[in-house]
A and B are shown apart, each in its own frame.
Chain A
Amino acid sequence: MKTHIQDRQDRQDRQDRFIALVGIITTAIALIAMLGLITGWTILASVRSEYMPMPMISAIIFSAFGIIIHRFNRAASSKWVSIASGVLILIMITGVLLVLDAFYDIFPGSQASPYIGLFFAIFSLLCLLKKILPPGKLINNIISITGVILLCFGFTIVLAYLVGTPLLYGKEPVPIALNGGVCVMLLSLGIISACGEENVVLRLFAGNGPNAKIQRKIVPLVFGSISMGSLFFVNFHDIRGVNYAIISAGGIILVSLVSVIIVQSSVETILNDATKNYEENKLYNFKISELNNSLEQRVADRTKQASDLNRELESFSYSVSHDLRSPLRGIDGWSLALFEDYSDKLDAKGVEYINTIRKETQRMSSLIDDLIKLSHLSRSELKYSVVDLSKLASAIAGRLGGVDPARKLEFLIEPGLVVTGDSGLLEVVLSNLFENSYKFTGTRAKAIIEFGLDKEKEGEVFYVKDNGVGFDMAYAGKLFGAFQRMHKHSEYPGTGIGLATVRRVITLLNGTIWAESKIDEGATFYFNLRAQ
């Protein structure tokens, strides 16, 4: 199946070939006429002996136009462009002079019509405009519409010869030659095509739309049948013994036949198009359903992989929770037994070592607990509901306030912040962030912990802000990693899992979390949640 772009490129190529061909034919007609004028075999210049021959000046100008049009849409060197522009200006002047000649007799005995002079002037102006002005819709439309007028002018001349009406090809002062009319038509078609298929005229005929297809059939048929009909009428109306009624009847039959053909061919065009569209749609639909099927398969595969992985993770964390704790209990138990049963054989240092072993055991134990909590989070299913974050934050603040009565705390919680989310998980987020702030404001005379909605940030961005010790933004990347700690254990104890847990939860809720801080100037944690 061809792509739209290929199709367009093909059409562009066809147009370029058409313009080149039009140029060649025009030049050929003009050159033949010239040959006839030079050799004295004037039928080459006049088509029929009783017709007006093409004058030498017109032949020269038409052949020049033909060459210019032939190369119109091709890439050209600047030398060529300047020569062509010079020739066009010269032709324009000549055209104007030919028009003036009708009034002031500039060229005594001139054989060229002032009408054709006008054509020369206008056409060379169009070519110049098209070449000089930057391409644009307006200029293309103006040129192509003018082209249509010139085409009608050419057709009128040809038709005038066909119906034998000298009036139309300008009997006074000098008539226009038949081949001149043909050249006018060809050149007009060339300049219209040069304006591209987007121009107002060509849009009616070019492309694969049903309207263009029908137009391409109807226009030649109508103009062709009228021309042929006229020719027939002119040549046979004065034959003796042929009745006008018969000719009229023949004309009516001809017109009817042409109408039938037009209707038939239009309907066929539409039907063909519709069938083709239907077939293409069927093909597309088939492809879409094929893609959908493979997508469904892929989703199923991935889901299975994910659930396999989840199961593996589950059994892993189960083992962790069972098997890692057991040796720890052993270490603690036997250290205690050692202390209880053999403390008389240990000095103070030995006893201190035992205490250190037991303290470290406790730390390891809380690490394992936190790890298991973290792994539980990714296994739990989300339950969405409307959650009042402000209420949640106040409850956490109340709890923290009771931990150490000696500490001075101030909580600033913006009321009425409601979101849709999993309330259990959101509590994990807020309590971890609050506990984090609580911990790192420990050295402050008065800790201030804020929770609210940041109106300056785009979207719904919540924040938890404190006036604690803060952290160095250079390490901000490590902030949310599991077991990553930003401070010495002796200053701020912890497992380094709290913020990792927060990020895990926020990710589960399709949100993002980030932090801003300066050392000793507090920290602000921002997060958003995308509603489901």
Chain B
Amino acid sequence: MDKKIILLVEDNPSDVALTRRAFEKSKIVNELIAIEDGKEALEYLQGAGKYSGRDRNILPIVVLLDIKLPLIDGITLLKTIRNDPRLRRLPVVMLTSSKEESDLAESYDHGVNGFIRKPVCSREFEKTIETFSLFWLLINEPPPVVK
């Protein structure tokens, strides 16, 4: 069985490194692909632009999406994913500092599959990542690929 990819869309390299570290500490061996902006993330998923050679049928098991992103922000990216016939089933979980009501509402309105508020305390963050991985990689059944 292929190793399932986790896509992390996050523009802060420090955050990316810490998230990667948390995954490693939870003994998650899946590949974590980190992309810094929303536009590139979309290109990755659609196999376009820089990623035109990529197999479009291999989709991440879950996308971890920050809300504040350069070029295309998280909510807009979520909307685009939900409106793309091939990507619409893709599980997307928001991973953000914000718990603004408007962000929560918009995310769920556009069909987000989860919303995680990054805790400031790193220990808690590690626990959060562990629980997240446990659920999405082991417990949850992934959606069938849209042919």
User: Which residues from chain A sit less than 8 Å from chain B, CB to CB?
Assistant: 318, 321-323, 325-330, 332-337, 358, 361-362, 365
Contact = CB atoms under 8 A, between A and B. Distances in A.
B120 A322 contact: no
7 contacts: A318-B98, A321-B100, A322-B98, A333-B18, A336-B123, A337-B21, A362-B121
A332 B119 CA distance: 10
Given A322-B67, A322-B68, A332 B121 contact: yes
Nearest to B68: A322
Given A322-B68, A336-B123, A329 B100 contact: no
B120 A361 contact: yes
B123 A321 contact: no
Contacts of A322: 67-68, 96-98
Contact of A329 (B21, B68, B98, B120): B120
Contact of A333 (B67, B96, B125): B125
A196 B109 CA distance: 81
A337 B126 CA distance: 12
List 9 tightest A-B contacts by C-beta distance, closest first. A365-B120, A333-B18, A325-B97, A336-B122, A333-B122, A330-B14, A332-B122, A322-B97, A328-B120
B118 interface: yes
Contacts of A365: 120-121
B25 to A, nearest CB: 9
A333 to B, nearest CB: 4
Contacts of B15: 326, 329-330
B98 A334 contact: no
B113 interface: no
Report whether over half of chain A's contact residues are helix, strand or loop; otherwise say mixed: helix
Most buried by A among B67, B99, B120, B123: B120
A471 B132 CA distance: 47
Contact of B97 (A321, A332, A337, A362): A321
A337 B97 CA distance: 20
A329 B67 contact: no
Contacts of B98: 318, 321-322
B131 interface: no
B118 A329 contact: yes
Given A321-B98, A332-B120, A333-B14, 8 more contacts: A321-B97, A321-B99, A321-B100, A326-B97, A330-B14, A333-B122, A335-B122, A361-B121
B18 to A, nearest CB: 4
A332 B120 CA distance: 7
Contacts of B99: 321
Interface in B67-86: 67-68
Contacts of B21: 333, 337
B52 interface: no
B57 interface: no
B121 A326 contact: no
A375 to B, nearest CB: 11
A321 B68 CA distance: 11
B105 to A, nearest CB: 14
Contact of B120 (A318, A323, A334, A362): A362
Contacts of A330: 12, 14-15, 18
Interface string B1-33: 000000000001011001001000000000000
B15 to A, nearest CB: 7
A364 to B, nearest CB: 8
Nearest to B19: A333
Contacts of A327: 14
A327 B68 CA distance: 14
Interface string B92-108: 00001111100000000
Contacts of A332: 120-122
Interface in B39-68: 67-68
Contacts of B12: 326, 330
Contacts of B18: 329-330, 333-334, 337
A531 B64 CA distance: 48
A294 to B, nearest CB: 36
A238 to B, nearest CB: 110
A318 B99 CA distance: 10
B76 to A, nearest CB: 16
A329 B97 contact: yes
B96 A329 contact: no
Most buried by A among B14, B67, B125: B14
A306 to B, nearest CB: 20
A336 B122 CA distance: 7
Nearest to A365: B120
A330 B12 CA distance: 10
A86 to B, nearest CB: 93
Contacts of B68: 322-323
Contacts of A325: 97, 118, 120
A358 B123 CA distance: 11
A332 B123 CA distance: 9
B42 to A, nearest CB: 21
Nearest to B67: A322
Contacts of B120: 325, 328-329, 332, 361-362, 365
Contacts of A336: 122-123
Contacts of B14: 327, 330, 333-334
A336 B124 CA distance: 12
A358 B121 CA distance: 8
Most buried by B among A326, A335, A361: A326
Contacts of B96: 322
